[in-house]
Amino acid sequence: MLTRREFIKLCIAGIAAMSLSDLIIPELARAFQTPGGRPMVIWLEAMTCAGDFMSFLNALRPDLQELLFKTIDLRYSNTLMTGEGRVAITELESIAGRRRGEYILIVEGTVPTMDGGTYGLIGHHPDGRPFTHLEAVRLLGGGARHLISAGTCASFGGPYAANPNPSGSKPVSAVLERRLVRERLVNVPGCPIHPDWLVGTLSHLLLYGIPDMDEHRRPRLFYGSLIHDRCPRRQHFDDGEFAAQPGDKECLYTIGCKGPVTFADCPVRKWNSGHMNWPVGANTPCIGCVSPGFPDRTSPFFAHLPDIHIPGVKRTADKIGTAVGVAAAAGIGAHAVASAITGRLSKNLMEGTEGKPAAISGAARAAVPQKPPGGAGGAGDASADAPGSSPGPGPGHAPGRVPRGIRGILRRLLARVRIKRGETRR
Amino acid sequence: MGERVTISPVTRLNGFWRIDVQIENGVVRDAWSSGIFFRGFELILEGREPRDAIYLTERICGICSSAHGMASSRALEDACGVEAPRNGVLMRSLIFAADMLQNHIRHFYLLAVPDFVEGPDMPPFLPRYNVDFRLSKNATERIMANYLESLKLTREFLEMQANLGGKAPHTHGILAGGAPVAPDADKIRYSLSVVDRARRFIMEKYIPDVYAIGEAYPDYYKIGRGHGNFLAYDQFPQAQPDGGPVHKGGVMIDGRVEGLDLETITEHVKFSWFSPEDGPRKPGVGSTHPDVRKVEAYSWVKAPRYNGRAVETGPLAAQWIARGYRRGISVMDRHVARALMTKEVAELMREWLLSLEPGKPVFESYDIPAEAEGVGTVDAFRGGLGHWVRIEGQRIARYQIVTPSAWNCSPRDDSGQRGAVEEALAGTPVENPRAPVEVGRVIRSFDPCLACAAHVIRDDGSSEDIRVS
C-alpha cells in the first residue's frame, strides 16, 4: 500500500495526463480485501441539482464496476437505486438504526430550513409523515463513521442559498452538532465537485483518517493553492495582457476571473475523466465555484470585482491593467518566478498537508473549526475566499511541473495499474 | 372505494417527487403528481447581472445543465438583439447535443431499465420489487453488460463537452453571443471519434435493447397514453445552414398539428404552493411566491398550459410533431422515440463537426441594454424548455422558467384538468399495490426531472388528506 506521504504527493501532483481515480481505486480495492469488506456508503441528496453525483460518475475509469461494485457498497442514492418509495426509505432507516458507526455519509446539496425544513423532502416515512432533508442529515450524520459534504451546496450553501435564499438553505455544517462537525466533517466543495477531489478525500479518510484541512474544512490536498498561482495564463497577467471578451487567449482577470481568490487545483488537474480542460482553458473566467462565497461574492461572473484582494497587490482591481497596476502585477510575477526556481511551491504544499496524526481528534485540533458563512451574502469583504488570512502556500509554480519524487511512485503504480491511454487520450 | 398508494420518493430521477395513485379493481383510477422541494430560482435571479443567469440556471439541473445554458443564452440574445456567428452556434449546439445523447442513454439504462430488467443481487439494484421480470437470462445479462458500457460511453460525451466548453456538468461553453472555444482540427477529430463510437453503440446496443424490452412487455405499447396532446419547441435553433432550426416546433391538439403561439402559454397555481394570482398568468409576467399554507395545493410544480390545454412534451412529442412518427402513444413509444432521437442527433453532430470552419469567429460581443425583454426556447432532452427574462437598469428584473418536467409532471390546473403524467397513469393495471412496479414504468417513460421543474416543492404532511374530486 502507498504510504501517506506517497499518497499526498500523488494527490498534489494533479497530473493532467491521468486520472487520480485510476491510481487510487486499485489501492482502495486492495485495502478492502479484508474481512470487513467494502465500506458502506450512503449518498444522500439534499436540495441539489444532482450535478455532484453526475460528476462523481465521471470518475470511474477504467471501469465503473471497479468503484461502485468492487470498492464501495453504495446503499442509498436517490438517482441510482432501484428501490423506491417505502422500500427505499425503509432501507435508509434500517441502516441508520442498525449500522451506526459503520457507514460513510456523503451529503450533496444544501439543507433547507425554512418552515422547519419542509421546503425539502427526501420522501415520506412509511407512516406518511414528511421526511425532510434536515431530519435525514441529522439522523444519518449522527451515526456516520465519516462525513463528507460533497459539492459547494453541502459545503457552503451554494446557489440555492444565494440571496434572498427563499428556502432558508444552509450548509451541512450549520445543521449538525458542533462536536460532529469538529470531529468528522470534511468539506469537498466544487460546483460540481471534481471526481478526483471526492475519490481522493474518501481514500484518505479510509486509509489514513482525516486529511489536513484549511479553515473552511477543505482538504489542503486539493484546495491548498490559488488557481492564480498555477494558471497557465499567469504570464499574461504578469505582463498586463488582458482579455477583452470571452474567447480571448489572454489573462481573463479583467473579464471576471476569480482565479486570484479561489483555492483549487483546476489548472493542473483539469476536468472530466480524460482531464480534458477547465473553464480558463475554454477562454472563460473562473467563477470561484469552490469558494464559500459562491455565487453571491464571486458574481458578477463576467465583471471583475471592484476591491478584490490579491496577495501582494495592495491595489484595487480597477488599477490592474493600467501602467500602475501592471507594475504591481509584475511584482507578483518576480516573486512567483523566484518561488518557482527554488521549487518552493511543491515543498509548501507538502508541508501544508503533513505532520498531522491521522487520528480524528488530532487532525481536528490541527484544523481551526470555523462556522462557514451561510452563503446568503451580506459580507462586506469582496474577496471570495479570504486569501489573505489563509495559511495556504506561497505563490509561484510552473504549471504542469511534476514535483520530484512523484515519478518514482508513478512508475511503481503504473506497473500495476492498467491504463488504457489510447482509449481516452487522443 | 379502492386503495390509495403513495410512492415517495420516486427514485431514479433528478429531484424529489411523490406520486399518489387511487387503485380500484387492480387499475389506477386517478393520480396526483407532487413535487416535494422548493428552491425559488426565479427569486434568486432577480437583481443579478443578466449574463450570470446562463451559468446560474445551469445549476438548476446537473443532468441537463447545458439545456438551461442554451435557453438562457437565447433569451439574453433575444433581449440584447445579438446574433451568434454560425461557428459559435455549431459549437454550442455540439455541447448541447452531446449532453442530449448522454441524457437519453443514461436515462434508459440507469433510470428506466431497472424497472424491466432484474439487476444483480447487490446494491444499488437491491432492495427492489421482485415482480414481473420477463426477460430471459441471456437478454438480462446482455442488457446489464450494456448498462455498464453505457456509463463508459456517456462519460465520453461529458469529456467531449469539457473539451469544447471547459467542464461538464455546468459547462462554460455556452454563451449569449456564441461560444468561447474556437474549433480546430484536434477538437473536430476528437469529437468525431466520440460521435462515431456513440453511433455504433446506439445502432448495435441501445435501439436493439429498447425493442427487446418492448417485445417482452408488449402490453406497454398500450399502457400510459395520457391526453394525446403534444408540444415541441424548435429543435437545435439556428443550426441549419440558413439559420433556421433543424425541426420546427409545434403543438398537436386533438390530433391536429399546428404552429406554436407562445402567447397562449399560461401557468396555473391553484393546486401549487404559490400565492394565488388573479387567474393564470403568462410566464413573462408571472410571479413565484411560496405559500405553504394553501390547503388545496399539493405540489411545488406550477401547471403550465397551452391555450388552456395540458400537453405532453419530450422526444415522443417531437417525433410526432416534427418527424411524422405515428406508431402510438404509450410507455414503450416514449422509449422508442427517445432512442430514435439519439440516432438522428448523432448523425446531425457528424454533419455539424464537418461543417465547422476553423479560423472563423465563434463569438459576437454585445452590450446589456438598460431595458429589454427576451424569450429563449429550446427543445431540451425532456421536451420544451423556455426562459423569459426582463431586464431593467441592466439587471434582471424578472426571470421565469417553464421546464419540460413542469409540463409533464404538473398538478391539476385551475379548471381541474390533470397534468400529463397524472393523465397517463389513469388506466394503468397494478398487479400488487404493495409493489406497484407498473406505476414506475409509466412515470419514468417521461424521463421526469423534478429538479428541473424549478419552482418546486414542499409538503407539510397535510396532503395526506387532500382529495381532488
Q: Tell me the per-residue pLDDT of B126-138, one tens digit each, with 9 for 90 and over.
A: 999 999 999 999 9
- What is the pLDDT at residue B452? 77
C-beta separation of B312 from B417 below 8 A: no
Interface of A with B in 16-35 (CB under 8 A): none
Among the partner-chain residues A68, A160, A272, the one whose CB lies closest to the CB of B167 is: A272
Q: What is the mean predicted confidence (pLDDT) over A143-169? A: 96
Interface of A with B in 271-290 (CB under 8 A): 271-274, 276-284, 287, 289
- What is the pLDDT at residue A165? 95
- What is the pLDDT at residue A194? 92
- What is the pLDDT at residue B287? 77
**Res A354 pLDDT > 60:** no
**Res A372 pLDDT > 90:** no
Contacts of A78 in chain B (CB under 8 A): 9, 11, 16
Going by pLDDT thresholds of 50, 70 and 90, the confidence category of residue A337 is: very low
Residues with Cβ within 8 Å of B160's Cβ and at least 6 positions away in sequence, in order, are B94, B98, B190, B191, B194
Reduced to 3 states (helix: H, G, I; strand: E, B; else coil), residue A45 is: strand
CA distance A224 to chain B (A): 21
Contacts of B51 in chain A (CB under 8 A): 300-302
- What is the pLDDT at residue A413? 62
Starting from the edge strand earliest in sequence, which strands make up the sheet with A73-77, in order? A73-77, A40-45, A104-108, A146-150, A185-188
Tell me whether A303 touches chain B (CB under 8 Å): yes
Q: What is the mean predicted confidence (pLDDT) over A415-420? A: 49
- What is the pLDDT at residue B276? 82
Over the stretch A309-332, which tens digit does the pLDDT of each residue have? Answer: 554 443 444 444 443 344 444 444
C-beta separation of B267 from B280 below 8 A: yes
Reduced to 3 states (helix: H, G, I; strand: E, B; else coil), residue A361 is: helix
Count of CB atoms situated within 10 Å of the CB of B259: 8
Q: What is the mean predicted confidence (pLDDT) over A256-269? A: 93
Query: How far does Cα A28 stand from its chain's mean position?
Result: 20
Report CB contact under 8 Å: B36, A121.
Answer: yes
For residue B148 the three cell numbers come to 455498464
Contacts of B12 in chain A (CB under 8 A): 79-82, 84
**Res A5 pLDDT > 60:** yes
Torsion sign (Cα): A173, A95, B3, B5: positive
CA nearest to B176 within chain A: A246
Mutate to test the interface with B, among A153, A272, A278, A304 (most CBs of B within 10 A): A272
Amino acid at A208: Y
Report CB contact under 8 Å: B459, A55.
Answer: no
Q: Cα(first)–Cα(last) distance of chain A, in Å?
A: 31
Distance CA B321, CA B258 (A): 9
Reported ipTM: 0.94
- What is the pLDDT at residue A352? 60
**Res A172 pLDDT > 60:** yes
Distance CA B415, CA A225 (A): 58
Among the partner-chain residues A78, A279, A426, the one whose CB lies closest to the CB of B167 is: A279
Residues with Cβ within 8 Å of B432's Cβ and at least 6 positions away in sequence, in order, are B131
Distance CA A297, CA A159 (A): 11
Report CB contact under 8 Å: A272, B168.
Answer: yes
C-beta separation of B324 from B202 below 8 A: no
Among the partner-chain residues A84, A162, A277, the one whose CB lies closest to the CB of B162 is: A277
Report CB contact under 8 Å: A51, B39.
Answer: no
Contacts of B172 in chain A (CB under 8 A): 279, 282, 284
Distance CA A422, CA B358 (A): 25
**Res A63 pLDDT > 80:** no
Residue stretches of chain B with pLDDT short of 50? 454, 456-469
Residues with Cβ within 8 Å of A316's Cβ and at least 6 positions away in sequence, in order, are A306, A307, A308
DSSP secondary structure code for residue B118 in this structure: -
- What is the pLDDT at residue A393? 38
Distance CA A253, CA A257 (A): 4
- What is the pLDDT at residue A424? 36
Strands annotated E in A92-251: 104-108, 111-112, 121-124, 130-132, 146-150, 169-170, 185-188
C-beta separation of A122 from B9 below 8 A: yes
Q: Cα(first)–Cα(last) distance of chain B, in Å?
A: 13
Report CB contact under 8 Å: A276, B165.
Answer: no
Predicted TM-score (pTM) of the model is: 0.88
- What is the pLDDT at residue B59? 96
Helix A4-13 to helix A344-353 angle, to the nearest 10 degrees?
A: 130
Report CB contact under 8 Å: A424, B156.
Answer: yes
Among the partner-chain residues B159, B166, B365, the one whose CB lies closest to the CB of A245 is: B365
Report CB contact under 8 Å: A301, B151.
Answer: no
Mutate to test the interface with B, among A43, A44, A47, A54 (most CBs of B within 10 A): A54
Strand partners, B22: B4, B30
Residue A271 backbone dihedrals phi, psi, to 5 degrees: -110, 155
CA nearest to B186 within chain A: A426
- What is the pLDDT at residue B292? 85
